[in-house]
Structure 1
C-alpha cells in the first residue's frame, strides 16, 4: 500500500517527482506560483494517464497536437484539484487545511515534504539586502510548516533548504526551527547533502532536515552514492540536437542512442523525443564574451574575469564584485549550482562548445537538474528557467525518498 504525502512550498515538483518515483502517493501540493502549479498539474495528469494506459494523450500534448485545456480535460478534476495554488499564510492556512481534508478522505498523511522559499536564508540574498534579510517575512514560514506537522501528525517529514540556513543569524534561525519541531513532537536531524553524490551532474549543496515522531527509534539515514559519475558533454548533452542562439526545436529528436548515464538517471525514460529544447537569443557583444569565456575554460582551464575583458565589451564600471558573472558549464565534470537567476540571463550558464556559442537551453538546464525528458514546465521559457533553478533535483529526491520509505515502514 502506497505511503501518502503532502508537498508544501512545492515549486515545480522536483522533490515530489522523486517521492512519486519511489512509490509514494501525493495527497496535495501547495504552491503560490501559478506557473509552477500548472507544471505540477500537468505532471499529475501525466501520471494518471500513465497509470491508465493512456500515455499517448500526454505525448500528443508534448507534440503540441492538443492544447493545455484539451489535455487537462482528459483527466478527472480531482487529479488537478490536488494542486493548491495559494500562498501559505495566517490568512489562508485554514482554507488550505479544508482543501487537503477534502482530498485525503480517510487516508493517513504518512509524510510531509517541502522547504520554505530559501531567499531569506541564502547567503547571496542576505548579502544583497541592507538588513541581511532580517525583516523578510519568509524567515518565519517554517512556523507554517510546523502547523502542518501538528495538524496531520505524519510519521516523518523532510525539510529542504539552502546551506545559508545554517549561518542565518549565526545559527539562530536553525535553532528556532528545531525548537518548534521539538515542541510539535518530533526529533529532527540535519546534514548538508550534495546532489552529485546522488548522480546529479551538478555541484548543488542542500541542507536536508529529516524528522520523525519521538516514539520512533530512528536515526538520520546513510545514502549510497550513485553507481557512476558522469560528465556534462560526454554523458548529459551528447544526444541533444545542436542549437543556434534564439533557436528552438520542439519536439526535439535525439541524435544518438541512449547511454548508460541517461538510462541510470532516468533522464531518457522511454519516449523518442524531448521538448523545450529552446535557447535564448544573444546580442553580438555577449556572444563575443561567450566565445572568450569558452575558449579560456575549454582550451586553457581558466575562468573569465570580467575585469580582464577589453573595454569595448564592458557595460559597467564595477570591476570588484561578481567578476565571474560569465561562467561556462564544465564539459568534463559537473555543473555549478543552477539557481533561479537563470531566468534573467544565461551569462552564468554558457554552453561549453565553440561550435554552439550560446547559453544553455531549457532542456539542458532541466537535465542538469536531473528532470526526465518528458517533464514539461508550464508558463514559457522564462518561467521554466525559474522553476528549474528553484527545484530540488528529482534524482536526489528519489534517493532520499527510497531511504525514507525504508525508515517509515
Structure 2
C-alpha cells in the first residue's frame, strides 16, 4: 500500500527522507513538502529530483556529474521533466503568511489526497521553545512570549491536520517544548489538547479526533484526558538508543485517527549505541584551514609551534602525563594536509557492516560531498588541539577554565573564569555518540571539535551529516553556513526511517482490521 506524505516545515528533508526511503509493508511518497528557507528549499528540491530519477541511468549520471564537478550543468537542465516534478513536490512557502497558506491549500487539493491514505509529518520551528532560545529571549527587554508568533506556528500544522485529516501524523520538536509557557500555561498541554481535536481547537468542531502516542512508551493522550496526569517525558526519543551516533533528545508525537482503534503496541526498537568513530572515521582526514596565509607549510609551522608551547608549559607545571600525550600527538601534526574535495574512496568504509554504513554509503560517488574544512583563527587551533588531546587522555571534554590550565588557551573573555563558558570548547569523543548537532554548529565550531588532534579543526558539514545519518549522496546546497544550519535543524534520516516503520505497522494493522 502506498501512502502520500505531506511534509511541513521540511528543512532539508531529513524526516521526509526517512519515510520516502522506507521499504516494508507500506511505502511512502511525498506529495507536497513546504520549507521557507531558500537554501534548505534548494536542497529539498534536489533530493526530490534524486528520488524521481531512481532507476533512470541517464538521469542519475546527470545527478552524479553535478555532484562531482562544480562545472557540470545542473541536472534539471538535462532532465527537465523530473526537475519539474521535483519543483511541484518541494515548495518554498512560509506558513502563516496568508498567500503562502492559500498556495499550500491549492497544492493539497491538486494532490488529490485520500484521508485514509495520507500521512502528515513535520516539525514546527523550535526557537521559541528551546532552552537556549528562551534564555536569549529573556535577555530582550521588550520580549513578550505571548506576542512571539513562533509559539503558535504549530497551529499552521494543526490547520493542515484538520484540512487533510490523515490516518496518521508525526510531529517533532525540541525537548524544551515540554516546559515552555505562555500566559503561565504549559504550551505542550495545549498542543496535546489541540492535536487530539484539531477541528475543535480551530473553532469549528467536526468530530475529528486523534490519539497521541509515544514512540518509545505505552503512554498515550486522548481527547478528554487531562494532560496534567500524563508523563510528558514519555514522548522524548533519545536517538542514541536507536542506532543514531548522536545524543539527540527530541519530542516526537505519533497521532493516529481515533476510529482506527490503534492499541499502541508498535514502538521503536532499541539497538546498540554507535560512536563518533563508527560514524565518521571512514571520511578522509583533513587539516583545518587558516583565516590568513592558508598554506600547508604555514599551517604546519603554526600548529607545531602552538603544540610545542603547550607541551613546554605542561612540563613546567608538572603535568607530566598531559605533556607526554601532547608530545605524542604533536608528532602527527603536519601529516594530514588535505582540505577537501577528496575522492570518495580515499579512505575505507568500516570493515564490519552496520545498518548505518549500509544506509549512508553510495558506490557511485567519486568525491566526498560537503566535506571541506573551514577556516579557523590561529589562536583557536591551539585550543582545538589541546581539547582533542584532553578528550583522548580523560575520555571527556574539557569543561571550564580549570580544564584549560596552560598558557595561551584562555580566550579573551572578561568572564572566562565566571563559569558561564563551561562548554565554550567541546570536543566530540571517539568512543561515544556525539552531543546534539544543532544549528549552532554554523557559528564557530567550538562546540564540535574533531576528536583527532592531528586534524586540529571542527567538524565538516559531511561529518555533521553523518552524525545526523544523512546518506553520503545527500547534497546540501547553499553556502557552508547555510549547509550547517540545514544539517543541525534536521531530524536524523535513519531515525525517521525507523519511525516510518512504526507508522507502516500501524497502517498495516488498520488494513488487516478492514
Q: If the TM-score is normalised by the length of the shorter chain, which range does it land in?
A: over 0.9
1:348 aligns with 2:432: no
Residue of structure 1 equivalent to 2:340: 248
Runs of 4+ in 1 over 6 A off after TM superposition: none
Whole-angstrom distance in 2 between the partners of 1:340 and 1:230: 22
- Classify 1:84/1:72 alpha carbon distance in 2 versus 1 (closer, same or farther; 3 Å): farther
- Classify 1:215/1:105 alpha carbon distance in 2 versus 1 (closer, same or farther; 3 Å): closer
1:254–1:272 Cα contact (<8 Å) kept: no
Give the CA RMSD over aligned residues.
2.1
* 1:140 paired residue among 152, 157, 181: 152
1:275 aligns with 2:360: no
TM-score w.r.t. the length of structure 2 is 0.75
* 2:94 paired residue among 87, 94, 98: 87
* 1:63 paired residue among 62, 68, 71: 68
CA shift digits 1:74-113 (9 cap, x unpaired) = 62413222111011015131221112322x1365551000
Residue of structure 1 equivalent to 2:193: 179
- Classify 1:176/1:71 alpha carbon distance in 2 versus 1 (closer, same or farther; 3 Å): farther
Mapping for residues 5-404 of structure 1, pairs under 5 Å:
5-22=5-22, 23-53=27-57, 54-64=59-69, 65-68=71-74, 70=77, 73=80, 75-91=82-98, 92-102=100-110, 104-105=111-112, 110-130=118-138, 131=143, 133-169=145-181, 172-184=186-198, 185-190=209-214, 191-220=235-264, 221-226=266-271, 228-233=272-277, 235-246=278-289, 247-259=339-351, 260-261=353-354, 264=357, 266-273=359-366, 274-308=368-402, 309=404, 312=408, 313-319=410-416, 320-404=419-503
CA shift for structure 1 position 2: 1.3
2:244–2:495 Cα contact (<8 Å) kept: yes
TM-score w.r.t. the length of structure 1 is 0.93
CA shift for structure 1 position 317: 1.2
- Classify 1:272/1:78 alpha carbon distance in 2 versus 1 (closer, same or farther; 3 Å): closer
CA shift for structure 1 position 262: 6.2
CA shift for structure 1 position 223: 1.2
CA shift for structure 1 position 55: 1.9
CA shift for structure 1 position 151: 0.8
Counterpart secondary structure, 1:66: coil
CA shift digits 1:349-389 (9 cap, x unpaired) = 00101211111111111001111100010102111100000
CA shift for structure 1 position 225: 1.8
User: How many pairs are equivalent?
Assistant: 406
Larger helix percent: 2
Structure 1 spans left out of the alignment, 5+ residues:
none
CA shift for structure 1 position 269: 3.4
**Bigger Rg, structure 1 or 2:** 2
CA shift for structure 1 position 250: 4.9
